Structure 1
Amino acid sequence: MAQARSAQAGPGQARSARSAEIRTAALDLFTRLGYEATTMADIGAAVGMRGPSLYKHVASKQDVLAQIMTGTMEALLAAHRSAVATTADPLERLRRATEAHVRYHARHRREAFVGNREIRSLVQPHRDQVLGLRARYERCFRDLIEAGARAGLFEVASARLASYAILDLGMGVAVWFRDDGELTEDAVVWQYSQFALRIVGAG
């Protein structure tokens, strides 16, 4: 079935699908073995490709790690923009942003794990690129908190610390959440959004 789909797809689509397959395999290996212990040969074996063919899709192991980590942050930024797009109310915007943040980490636990553990493994310019995206994401939450404080809806001594606390809450979900656990994803998302509102002194 997969070969039939590849045959029907154009060259660009097939290359994109193959690159995505390589990133998925690398993500699994980085999660289980760690970046340093994973080799390009390991990644190639996981997708049934040898060196020359693999290097047609990715430049290096570092390049794969950078793609995974920048992709994670770009997905979080996109989810944030979508979450807050349809309301101007600061309280509702923070609630929705927190829900999107928590939901992403409940659904993408490997990406969160690798993103947190392997930031040390990035070299320049990839490291600065990922750190810049992280700073932008944190700034999104800080802006929401500052807007709520100006409107008299939130009471915080430091919007920066409040944003860190909310982000840490969501990232922690990736450590313990399981699909077959006691709490459903929706239950966790709702409760954490309430925690966030308490952190900023809403209501």
Structure 2
Amino acid sequence: MKKLYHTFFLPLLLFGALLLPPKVLAQPVVNYTSGNNILLTLEGVAQPYNFTSSDLLVFYNRQTQKLECRLNLANLLPASDTLPATMAYEVLYGAKYPELFFSIAVPIEKINSRTPYPQTINSQISIMLQGVTNETVAAIQFSPDENAIIFGTTLNLLLENFQASIPAKYLPLLTGRVGLTIRSARWARPPTR
């Protein structure tokens, strides 16, 4: 039966793949810039719990005109030795939702602008946390650079707005507020050919 399955369906599958246009078969190349820093603050009842990562990935999507930012939650490290190392990962349910994703609307005119001074614009930001997407507007500061987009922002989020829950062991410690601070993150423009 297994041999019959391979004899009949494998050639059919290969023939079907030949009929697809080359663009469907090709994977698009996405040029993320790594090495960007982010500070994640879990607001506590008595103190803030700060976690950092230098592994924020940034990409400018010209089709949607958005900066796309991705952070693997497993890469968040406590800013202090006294904090539980996996607290942020556990609070944000990293085992089920391993990535924090957000996109920032930035018109192509701002990307192509060569102004010699920093600019601040209010921008629409979509944030996906624990499988739920919310939108907000926040100030984004852009700094000039010939070969990159450099930006920074601060976002203040409420977990309840994402229908997110806090693990029981952290309930007495946390208020449900989360802060994200990005300073001087950059997306390097791909070299022109």
Q: TM-score when scaled to structure 2?
A: 0.23
Task: Name the structure, 1 or 2, with higher relative contact order (CA <8 Å, separation 6+).
Answer: 1
More strand by share: 2
Q: Which structure has the greater CA radius of gyration?
A: 2
